[in-house]
Structure 1
Amino acid sequence: MRLDPKLAARIAGDVGLWQDFNDICDCGGRLAGTQSERRAFALLRERVQAASPANSGRSIPVTYNGWTAKKAVLRLHDGSEAACHPLVRTIATGKEGLTAEVIDLGRGTPEEFATHADEIAGRIVLVRHELMFAAGTIHRRRKYDMARERGAVGFLIAGPLPGNVVAGSSGRDGGHGIPALGIAPETAARLARTAHGWPTATLLIETVETAAETESLVYDYPGRSDDWVVLSAHVDGHDLAESAMDNGSGLAAVLSVVRALSPEVANFRRGLRVMFFSVEEWALTGSAQYVAALGEIDRAKIALNINLDSVAGSPDIAALTSGYASVEPFLLMVAAQNGHSLRTVRPLMINSDHANFALSGIPAIRLVAGFDDPTANLRVVLTPADTRDKVAQSELRQAALLTAALVAAACNAGPSEAAAWRAH
């Protein structure tokens, strides 16, 4: 299970890894439907083609409900305006905006929503954005849904970083929703209830919604059988910054693995399928469509999905194993034999493209850096601070080396071992 030393040396000395990462960041935040996203896809095509000239890959069209924010304003009760950012696919307000009282539910747990159930209807709910890479995290989309279901007329979520608003998706795909904005923690402090009563705020949001299309890129490198290991990463991000950790780091690591392993896969037991998804930030849409289109036979041929999402920004990497307990000994053994420290986290976390594979019965993991570490740079993901300076070259190299070792071992694992991975 140890990666061939020549392949490990190839990745360790891969000058293209850091160049790819910076070039991906140069594309911008890569919000789905923008020129930034399209530049990133063009770059990925170019780099994969350079690594394996004979493999032109294929593009799978992905249709989705497109959305663009034209204007977002948050006006506080004293008439001042505060910085804000519209959550992806928020609905628009009327031209005059939406004015209502604000109820601060703190973290926004189910218990807090239940306790204040009689006070939510007709008000704007304010909650806090949490470290996404942690056990027990309550995702923003769940908080949004709880607010909407209890009759809130608007939604505000405060980010963790002083002086910075927060981005993210509302999770709405179409139809009913409530206006939703990300704000800075200082703004949330100004919206606290006082002896004078509930504060008020005005949300003014203008959007355009239309049918849109993006793509998933697929590159197949056949092995000795018609079974596959899928290595995936998502292309899209947000327009607040460079989306460097999330997920420029994963894209760059995948490209390095392709350069190192693609010439060797023909000798592997299983083939390697490399996939670049988009609209991941929009409720995992690209991978959801891909998995839904797979027939039963094609699903059975995928032994494992290894999904890279935010794999740098901390030297500590975890594997989210999606409830597939039998995968964990394999992962830990490969990591140990290749000199890597790896933590495994078992509960299914629906926070990246691996979740769609796992929910369809395909063993799937997500590699992520900084899990459960509130001091790691990953804490600023989805803020304007998700920039390339948060990533160390050593972290990126480590992620690529670990990924290559896991991919090679999974491609060569025996049939009985791979069959066991499917057990929950």
Structure 2
Amino acid sequence: MNDSDPALELAIGRGWTDDRAWELLTRLTELPHRMGGSSSERRAAEIVREALSDAGLETVRIDEFPMQHWERGTTEFAVLEGAADDADRIDRSFEAIALPYAPAGDVEGPLVDIGYGTPEEIEDADLRGGIAVASTMTPSGQRFVHRMEKFGHAVAAGAKAFVFGNHVPGQLPPTGALKFDAEAAVPGIGVSAETHDWLVDYAERGARARLRVDATTREDSSQNVHGTLGPETGAEVLLLAHYDAHDIGEGALDNGCGIATVVGATAVLAAIEDELECSVRIAGVGCEEIGLLGAEALADELDLESVRAVVNVDGAGRFRNLRALSHGTEALADLADDVTDAVGHPVVHEPDPHPFSDHWPFLRAGVPTLQLHSEPPAGEERGRGWGHTTADTRDKVDPRNLREHAVLTALLVHELTARDVPRIDVDELRERLRDQEYESGMRAAEMWPAEWS
């Protein structure tokens, strides 16, 4: 980095006082929701387009892509224990929400506690005809086990339905897609940590449960918002974030913070456009929460051989310190160190690749990817926290974090335009995911690339 670049220093200085990220976050969280394929998500795309244009991105366009739009109706869930004529029979209802792509259904069966829902726990349980109950958590010291993996293994083991129990207290049922862009085989619901505690008890007592889900899935469309800055050199850096969110809350942290950070970074990059050494494409993508669908559509549209690297802002802006996930590319980790060291900002590294965000369609094609996240305060539990619940609201966000991460994101992208980063060896990526024991889970979630066989 050039520490004495007047234009860059002026852009950074303006970034520290720029409130456009907070203003975008406010407009997005005022919407009813931003569920993929909905009219509210379409309105969010227009708001993002306006914000990017205002930040200095010219010729911003909106491109539609087809998708399966899931829409929730009502959900009912009750525990049943004892004979119908038993005076002490328990028939207890609990609050629950359907998980996206759950089919409509009316299911009754024994509750089966599968703990964290790891493959080993599911293998040890008898789920045939049962209703699987899993925690949102993953055991400490173990690689992350995604919700779709838990669901996929449970269904393969014979479960008739799936219950996802939050680990964060506060009467907050969590949501999250059961699979990507298609109706699931059996219903799934989310329940609070407090309900999950009861369900573990009832499962030990041999109780049964009944759940009814009303939901529909139909063909529809969503949209991506994108434009470019900088010179046309035949190469580009892609900076993206998803702007959609689940339909049960404001989606401030996930991923209102991410797209707001990108808009703030766009203003900095636009101010130093003449200094960029290759083109920068900036994109807000739709439908991440229900299948990385916008990122998939964008990857299909672009010439990936010309994409030098992808910076995926999913999680940045939430907390003070930056977490950089380099997905197996050491050069990107080094770049993050160079940039953050130069401005005295700490960064926490995670080198291992994972497939659970918008970088994935690019990473599996060999494009180096850097995901920018936030490091939670010391002692905070592992997991989503407020995300995917009704508590994901704007009051959880500090505008200072948005401004700071916007500047850092812009500096990283600026530096990326001047550096050559080696492509990913796809065979090595596949073996690395296998070494991390992701393969069985990705197959269960139908995410393992067919060409990897």
**Normalization by structure 1: what TM-score?**
0.91
Specify the SS of the correspondent of 1:382: coil
Counterpart-to-counterpart distance in 1, 2:311 and 2:138: 22
Counterpart-to-counterpart distance in 2, 1:345 and 1:354: 15
Counterpart-to-counterpart distance in 2, 1:143 and 1:24: 31
Q: Residue deviations 1:138-171, cap 9 Å, x none?
A: 1101000000111110000101222111111111
Q: Map 1:111-150 onto structure 2 (within 5 A).
A: 111-116=120-125, 119-130=126-137, 136-150=143-157
Q: Which residue of 2 aligns with 1:384?
A: 390
Specify the SS of the correspondent of 1:76: strand
Q: Which residue of 1 aligns with 2:370?
A: 365
RMSD between aligned residues: 2.3
Is the CA contact (8 Å cut-off) linking 1:158 and 1:185 kept in structure 2?
Answer: yes
Specify the SS of the correspondent of 2:416: helix
Q: Map 1:127-276 onto structure 2 (within 5 A).
A: 127-130=134-137, 136-162=143-169, 163-174=171-182, 177-192=185-200, 197-223=205-231, 225-276=233-284
Is the CA contact (8 Å cut-off) linking 1:319 and 1:343 kept in structure 2?
Answer: yes
Is the CA contact (8 Å cut-off) linking 2:313 and 2:371 kept in structure 1?
Answer: yes
Q: 1:109 aligns with which of 87, 103, 118?
A: 118
Q: Note closer, same or farther for the CA distance 1:279–1:315 as it changes in structure 2 (3 Å cut).
A: same
Verify: 1:31 aligned to 2:35, yes or no. Answer: yes
Q: CA deviation at 1:21?
A: 1.8
Counterpart residue identity of residue 284, structure 1: L
Q: Which residue of 1 aligns with 2:86?
A: none
Counterpart residue identity of residue 280, structure 1: E
Q: Residue deviations 1:194-220, cap 9 Å, x none?
A: 698421111101111110101111111
Verify: 1:61 aligned to 2:64, yes or no. Answer: yes
Q: Which residue of 1 aligns with 2:85?
A: none
Q: Note closer, same or farther for the CA distance 1:208–1:420 as it changes in structure 2 (3 Å cut).
A: closer
Counterpart residue identity of residue 159, structure 1: N
Unaligned runs of 5+ in 2: 81-89, 429-453
Counterpart-to-counterpart distance in 2, 1:223 and 1:373: 42
Is the CA contact (8 Å cut-off) linking 1:265 and 1:271 kept in structure 2?
Answer: no
Counterpart residue identity of residue 340, structure 1: H
Q: CA deviation at 1:421?
A: 5.5
Counterpart-to-counterpart distance in 2, 1:28 and 1:351: 26
**Normalization by structure 2: what TM-score?**
0.85
Q: 1:88 aligns with which of 82, 100, 104?
A: 100
Moved more, 77-86 or 239-248: 77-86
Q: Residue deviations 1:290-313, cap 9 Å, x none?
A: 21344xxx2121111111112133
Q: Note closer, same or farther for the CA distance 1:47–1:192 as it changes in structure 2 (3 Å cut).
A: closer
Q: CA deviation at 1:276?
A: 0.9
Counterpart-to-counterpart distance in 1, 2:217 and 2:63: 22
Structure 1 runs (4+) deviating above 6 angstroms are 131-135
Q: Note closer, same or farther for the CA distance 1:372–1:228 as it changes in structure 2 (3 Å cut).
A: farther
Q: CA deviation at 1:7?
A: 1.3
Verify: 1:330 aligned to 2:330, yes or no. Answer: no
Q: Residue deviations 1:55-108, cap 9 Å, x none?
A: 232222211111111111112222222111111111110xxx211111011111
- Equivalent pairs counted in the alignment come to 411
Specify the SS of the correspondent of 2:411: helix
Unaligned runs of 5+ in 1: none
Q: CA deviation at 1:134?
A: 9.2
Q: Which residue of 2 aligns with 1:9?
A: 13
Counterpart residue identity of residue 153, structure 2: M
Counterpart-to-counterpart distance in 2, 1:394 and 1:176: 41
Q: 2:399 aligns with which of 390, 393, 398?
A: 393
Counterpart-to-counterpart distance in 2, 1:85 and 1:132: 24
Q: Note closer, same or farther for the CA distance 1:179–1:194 as it changes in structure 2 (3 Å cut).
A: closer
Counterpart residue identity of residue 234, structure 1: H
Q: Which residue of 1 aligns with 2:410?
A: 404
